[in-house]
Amino acid sequence: MLGDRRIDPTERAHLRDASGYTPPIHRFPPTPELVRRYWMPIWSLPDGRRSEQRVLQYPVCLLVVSHEYDLLVGPSTGLSTQVLEGSGWGLGTMLQPAAGSLVWGGSVDGLTDRTVPLTEAPELDGAALVRDLRAAVADDPENSVAQQAAVATVEAALRRLLPVDAEGALVNAVVEYVEGDSGVQRVGQVCEKFAIGERSLQRLTARRIGLTPKWLIQRRRLHEAAERLTDPDRPDLARVAADLGYADQAHFGRDFRTVTGLRPGEYAAEPRTDS
Q: How far apart are CA 180 and CA 84, in angstroms?
A: 32
The mean predicted confidence, pLDDT, of the chain is 87
CA-to-CA distance for 125 and 133, rounded, in angstroms? 12
**Beta bridge mates, 235:** none
What per-residue confidence (pLDDT) applies to 16? 57
Q: How confident is residue 143, by pLDDT bands cut at 50, 70 and 90?
A: very high
How would residue 194 be classed by pLDDT, with cut points 50, 70 and 90?
A: very high
Q: Let me know: does 95 contact 168? Beta carbons within 8 Å.
A: no
- pLDDT tens by residue, 202-232: 999 999 999 999 999 999 988 888 888 877 7
Flag the least confident range among 28-42, 62-76, 105-119, 147-161.
28-42
Name the band, by pLDDT with cuts 50, 70 and 90, for residue 19: low
pLDDT for the residue numbered 124: 94
Strand-strand pairing, 70-73 and 62-66 = antiparallel
Predicted confidence at residue 265, as pLDDT, reads 82
Helix, coil or strand: residue 130: helix
Q: How far apart are CA 150 and CA 144, in angstroms?
A: 10
Nearest one of 101, 98, 99, 76 to 211, comparing CA atoms? 76
Choose between 247 and 233: higher pLDDT: 247
Residue 35 buriedness (CB in 10 A; 0-12 / 13-18 / 19+): buried
Q: What are the tens digits of pLDDT across the range 24-71?
A: 788 888 888 899 999 999 998 888 888 888 778 889 999 999 999 999
Burial class (CB in 10 A: 0-12, 13-18, 19+), 50: exposed
Average of per-residue pLDDT across 4-14: 45
* 142/23 Cα distance (integer angstroms): 13
CA distance 241 to 70: 38
pLDDT tens digits, residue range 81-107? Answer: 888 888 999 999 999 999 999 999 999
Cis amide prior to 122 (ω within 30 degrees): no
Cα separation of 26 and 3, whole Å?
14
Q: Are 6 and 27 in contact (CB under 8 A)?
A: yes
Secondary structure (DSSP) of 204-261: HHHHHHSS-HHHHHHHHHHHHHHHHHT-TT---HHHHHHHTT-SSHHHHHHHHHHHHS
- Contacts of residue 170, defined as CB under 8 A and 6 or more positions apart, other chains included, come to 194, 204
- Range 169-181 average pLDDT: 95
- Can you give the pLDDT at residue 119? 92
In one letter, which amino acid is 157?
A: A
